[in-house]
Chains A and B, each alone.
Chain A
Amino acid sequence: MDVQKTALYNYHKNLGAKFVPFAGYEMPIQYKDGIVKEHISTRTHAGFFDVSHMGQFFLEGDETLIESLEKIIPADLKNLKINHSKYSFLLNNEGGIIDDLIITKTEKGFCIILNAACKENDIKQISQFLQKNHKHLLNNDLSLIALQGPKSVEILEKLIPGVANLKFMTGSKFEYEDEKLYVTRSGYTGEDGFEISISNTKVEKLIDYLISNKVKPIGLGARDTLRLEAGLCLYGHDLNEKINPVEANLKWAIAKKRKEIGGFNGWEKIKDLLANGSEKIRVGIKPDGKVIARENTKIFSPDNNEIGFVTSGTFGPSVNAPVAMGYIKSEFSEIGTSILLEVRGKKYGGKISELPFYKKSYVK
């Protein structure tokens, strides 16, 4: 398959981006400032992220569409109000996570934001449950820009009046440059901010405006340190088809009603796990010193039994310390439990930590 590029590829190049292949796309990993500065400027001012590689999947249909989607998504889609969004997943028959996603109720159906690496398979999986009268479209004519950080609202409100009224995890249509665009108050950094779905033909103009307001471009590198500090999962690392939402410590994302009634893929398994707990569970991990416990680092108990593994680990610039997430036998998952992390053959001390590592309040 040819390497794909987002509509902003040349723009990134002119901004001094370093590119890496990611999910079949050439994506900026960082710009001239580097990961730490990009991270800090997102937390203190605002940054923009080109996340146009993610799938913007639109579905249209009558109430039978809700029934179809609820077979594979454990959210309460019946009671999801128009312009409201939920974090959820696609589940397989074993309750494993095929992908994690954000689903938004639209006037005619739903919009689902899918991970780039998963989107083709996701659509196949979803399509199994769709009926002939359900229409669907992966819209590649749209870019998706995340604007994140404390100044996001002030900056975007000047350009698109009304966005300041949006509450966290809600969205609305707005007018910009004689075109409709869709803005949600959401993101994946632990900061207040927006995700803006805008046509490929207008996206450069939007970015020009953001840059003129000192919004820095942020690459995948800082996106990773930001999301990890915020305790958020990265699919393919912290989540995969063999991990279910209970193990992933994401049972809060299964709607209360759906937990009671079920009716989705893997329900029997998940019902059992909800009642009895899982053998392993996702936790936050803080190494005691400066050592970084990266993905696949083995975790041991103080008496040297292997009890888990790290799925994401890096240095957290805002926490100013190394941070990690991983899976550990449930009996060791209590906050504050001492563990050992094996890095380059040596064992270093660490502790099970609360998530997120970095806290900020969203606008509710």
Chain B
Amino acid sequence: MSEKKFSKKHEWVSLDGDVATVGITKHATEMLGDIVFVEVPDAGKAVEKEGQAAVVESTKAASDVYSPISGEITEGNKAIADDPGSVNTDPEGASWFFKLKIKDKGEYDSLMSKDEYDKFCKENPS
């Protein structure tokens, strides 16, 4: 598996061949608070770069999860839909949101590295 890359909308991506795994960052879960509902996409769905792909809701509000990369969904993580709270516990590990077959590796390469993302979060506190 490749190193994780990060988007400005607080998603992470790792790449294994042409299949990307996408989740939301620890920073995102800290901003959201207690996660109580997750909706993940079904296999076969086509998603665009920065297009809406999943939904995450905390006790406070609902937010869209965007795909940082375009492609076709191969799997949504049903485990987090059944246990939304697990996203708070392990957002960058077992609680990934979806996997997709990517079209353009260039989209992955253009995302932020871990260091760049950490810097981005510091500069854009919300």
**In the assembled complex, how far is the CB of residue B125 from the closest CB belonging to chain A, in whole angstroms?**
12
Question: Which of the residues B37, B39, B59 comes within 8 Å of A225, measured between beta carbons?
Answer: B59
Known: A30-B33, A34-B34, A322-B37. A290 touches B81 (CB 8 A): yes
What mask results when residues 24 to 47 of chain B are scored 1 for a CB within 8 Å of chain A, else 0? 000000000110110100000000
In the assembly, what is the distance between CA of A292 and CA of B55, in Å?
Answer: 11
Which residue of chain B has its CB nearest to the CB of A18? B33
Question: Which of the residues A29, A35, A221, A290 comes within 8 Å of B84, measured between beta carbons?
Answer: A290
Cβ of A138 under 8 Å from chain B: no
- Do residues A221 and B59 form an inter-chain contact, with CB atoms below 8 A? yes
> Which positions in A face B, CB cutoff 8 Å?
29-30, 34-37, 221, 225, 290-292, 294, 314-315, 317, 322, 344
**In the assembled complex, how far is the CB of residue B77 from the closest CB belonging to chain A, in whole angstroms?**
14
In the assembly, what is the distance between CA of A314 and CA of B62, in Å?
Answer: 10
**In the assembled complex, how far is the CB of residue B116 from the closest CB belonging to chain A, in whole angstroms?**
26
- Do residues A35 and B37 form an inter-chain contact, with CB atoms below 8 A? no
| Docked complex: B5-53 residues within 8 A CB-CB of A | 33-34, 36-37, 39
- Do residues B62 and A35 form an inter-chain contact, with CB atoms below 8 A? no
Sample of 5 more A-B contacts, CB < 8 Å, known A292-B62, A314-B59, A322-B36: A35-B58, A35-B60, A290-B81, A291-B37, A292-B36
Cβ of B92 under 8 Å from chain A: no
Which residue of chain A has its CB nearest to the CB of B61? A294
- Note all chain A residues with C-beta closer than 8 A to B61: 294
Cβ of B75 under 8 Å from chain A: no
**In the assembled complex, how far is the CB of residue B23 from the closest CB belonging to chain A, in whole angstroms?**
19
In the assembly, what is the distance between CA of A291 and CA of B59, in Å?
Answer: 12
**In the assembled complex, how far is the CB of residue B39 from the closest CB belonging to chain A, in whole angstroms?**
8
